């Protein structure tokens, strides 16, 4: 009798399956992509990035806004590599968002990673600029600030609700040089082939770079199954953007995900299908002013999970989640 019981016990133990939580799967995948131990991946996604703001130069002199913020008690540290940009060392986003100054558009709360695309594309007033997936308007307002309300920007989005939010943000920020358009970004290249000097495509994505594991239900929107349909959309958008770009023009492709297929994979797809698409090094990220962030930056990878990408994607960059920046990917593409 005892022998049979023991034998049954061993059989149950042998057949017992190990179940993995959604967190286990997420951390394992991120560790594989970033080539770090799962404990390091856990630490990366458990840090909340510092609060950073961009001072609006379109409504009043930025120094006046800085003085007002300091009188309000804000402790500001200037970001070396980006004009009119500050880390707020003693206030979080909710504190700043409740101020009258924020509600009247004197500054914009924005993560440093999110500020990179407009800073890199750096438009001039004689160029036609397209922000292809513009809502809710953070990058559009930054482009307008760089241009000091001169030149011409088209801010496009395919979501009617988000378009209304975009219009409100542009009005609040005092943006005057931008035309807002509602429509699918995938259709722009067919309508306006070779029309734009600079195009910013901050593509819809699976959003892994935004995940903060200490937040409430942090993985409620994360699902591996999102990646494939996202890739299909991103390919159509980057094709359209490249078609709408003038010869010699610059396209910035960016996402807030870390998924290789949505990043290096999409860029490789463009390179494979357009011999006149050329990846360029990103001077800002390679500059001395940006050097303090280097430990949180990795070059694009040319292979992952059995998939090979173009060797050229080593000129792209993946920003690792940290206490400084959210996770991000960015590529600079020129039409030869």
**Structure token pair of residue 173:** 């920020």
Residues acting as catalytic residues: 256
Q: Kindly state the DSSP code that residue 53 receives in the 8-state scheme.
A: E
**112-335 topology per CATH:** Rossmann fold (3.40.50)
| Predicted pLDDT at 20 | 83
Q: Which residue stretches of the chain have pLDDT < 50? A: 1-2, 9
Buried b (16+ CB within 10 A) or exposed e, 65-103: bbebbeeeebebeebebbebbbbbeebebeebeebebbe
Q: Kindly state the DSSP code that residue 84 receives in the 8-state scheme.
A: T
Q: What's the rounded Cα separation, in Å, for the pair 58 and 149?
A: 7
| pLDDT tens by residue, 197-235 | 999 999 999 999 999 999 999 999 999 999 999 999 999
Domain residue ranges of the chain, discontinuous segments joined by +: 112-335
| Predicted pLDDT at 153 | 98
| pLDDT tens by residue, 291-318 | 999 999 999 999 999 999 999 999 999 9
Q: Is the pTM of this model over 0.75?
A: yes
| Token pair 């430990």 in the structure block, residue | 295
Q: What's the rounded Cα separation, in Å, for the pair 30 and 102?
A: 35
């Amino acid at each position: 009798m005892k022998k049979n019981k023991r034998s049954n016990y061993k059989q149950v133990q042998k057949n017992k399956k190990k179940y993995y939580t959604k967190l286990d799967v997420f951390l394992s995948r991120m560790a594989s992509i970033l080539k770090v131990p799962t404990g390091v991946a856990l630490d990366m996604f458990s840090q909340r990035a510092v609060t950073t703001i961009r001072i609006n130069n379109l409504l009043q002199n930025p120094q006046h806004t800085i003085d007002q913020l300091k009188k309000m008690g804000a402790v500001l540290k200037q970001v070396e590599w980006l004009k009119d940009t500050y880390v707020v060392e003693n206030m979080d986003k909710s504190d700043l968002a409740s101020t009258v100054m924020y509600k009247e558009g004197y500054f914009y709360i924005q993560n440093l990673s999110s500020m990179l695309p407009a800073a890199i594309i750096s438009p001039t007033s004689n160029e036609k600029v397209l922000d292809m997936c513009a809502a809710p308007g953070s990058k559009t307002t930054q482009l307008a600030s760089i241009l000091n309300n001169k030149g011409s920007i088209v801010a496009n989005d395919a979501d009617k609700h988000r378009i209304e939010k975009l219009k409100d943000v542009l009005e609040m920020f005092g943006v005057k040089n931008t035309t807002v358009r509602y429509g699918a970004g995938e259709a722009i290249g067919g309508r306006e082939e070779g029309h734009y000097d600079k195009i910013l495509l901050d593509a819809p994505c699976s959003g892994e770079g935004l995940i903060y594991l200490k937040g409430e239900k942090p993985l409620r929107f994360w699902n591996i199954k999102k990646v494939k349909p996202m890739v299909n959309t991103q390919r159509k958008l980057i094709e359209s953007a490249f078609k709408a770009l003038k010869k010699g023009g610059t396209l910035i492709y960016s996402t807030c995900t870390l998924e290789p297929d949505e990043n290096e994979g999409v860029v490789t797809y463009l390179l494979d299908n357009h011999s006149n698409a050329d990846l360029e090094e990103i001077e800002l990220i390679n500059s001395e002013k940006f050097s303090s962030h280097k430990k949180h930056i990795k070059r694009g990878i040319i292979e992952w999970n059995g998939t090979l990408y173009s060797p050229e994607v080593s000129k792209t960059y993946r920003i690792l989640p940290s206490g400084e920046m959210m996770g991000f990917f960015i590529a600079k593409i020129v039409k030869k």
